[in-house]
Amino acid sequence: MSAKKEILVETDGPVGVITLNRPEALNALNHALMEQLIAAVEDFEAAPPIRAIVIAGSERAFAAGADIKEMDQATPAQMKADPHLSRWDRLGKCSKPTIAAVSGFALGGGCELAMACDMIVASESAVFGQPEILIGVIPGAGGTQRLTRAIGKSRAMELVLTGRRFTAREAHAWGLVNRVVPVEAFLTEAKKLAQEIAAKPPIAVSAAKDAINKALDVDLDTGLSLERQLFYSLFDTQDQKEGMKAFIEKREPRFVGK
């Protein structure tokens, strides 16, 4: 493992911020970076005061993909056996809300990393794409699945089969990106959204996230049933009692996360 810090980690009140930090390689997602990134996500997930997580790149690059120089000579068996690859699935399973702050290149694994987050705030200069076809492969970290779910089959098919890049505006029009903001504002806007969500009752936030994610995977009846179970379970929380009491008393609620 590289001793170098491939990411920077900071907190801003209840928001954990992870910044990818390999500028020399446009934040290409090598093993060391992915290991550090997932460790940081797990730390934030385990820390009660942290209620939302922002994953950011630089202005020039969110991430230009998995590190091609680490895999160009690999065999199928080596790729399959690589213990680092399981880390790619971990982010999507994080129970706390995650927001990708994307500027510049979000290509290949970079686009997949952004899509594994719950929401994407993009700068006007953000460029998305799944260019794997141009180097002889296909997306391997969720690109064919998450992109298709987000923007529909025809568009995903064209983008993955041609490797064509697409802009933040296109991504926004297609529903992949929550909002497009001026370059200088992409990180602050992502943090602002994270702060807004972090102020909400965290058990309800986590339940809502779980239910929405399931909506993409299960049939409607199963989804409705899951939603109902989660809804009922929240009546066991102090925050539900406080939220409804505060409404009746015409005051702001004070959520405690219990």
Give the interface with ligand DAK as residue ranges (CB under 6 A).
25-26, 28, 64-69, 85, 88, 105, 107-109, 131-132, 135, 140-141
- The Cα–Cα gap between 252 and 52 comes to 21
Q: Please indicate whether residue 16 is annotated as part of the active site.
A: no
Is position 45 annotated as part of the catalytic site?
no
Please, which residue, 99 or 107, has the CB nearer to ligand DAK?
107
How far, in Å, CA of 198 to CA of 128, rounded?
Answer: 27
Q: How far is the CB of 226 from ligand DAK (least distance, A)?
A: 27
257 catalytically annotated: no
Instruction: Specify the residue, 116 or 187, whose C-beta has the smaller distance to ligand DAK.
Output: 116
**Which residue is catalytic, options 132, 168, 198, 204?**
132
**Residue number with CB closer to ligand DAK (90 or 179):** 90
Residues 6+ away with beta carbon under 8 Å from 200: 51, 255
In angstroms, the CA 103 to CA 109 distance is 15
DSSP three-state, residue 16: strand
Tell me the closest approach of the beta carbon of residue 53 to ligand DAK, in angstroms: 20
Instruction: Decide if 66 is catalytic.
Output: yes
Do 60 and 26 contact (CB within 8 A), yes or no? Answer: yes
Q: Which residues, 6+ apart, have CB-to-CB distance to 44 below 8 Å?
A: 16, 18, 50, 53, 96
Q: How far is the CB of 58 from ligand DAK (least distance, A)?
A: 12
Cβ nearer to ligand DAK, comparing 20 with 107? 107
* Residues annotated catalytic, as ranges: 66, 109, 112, 132
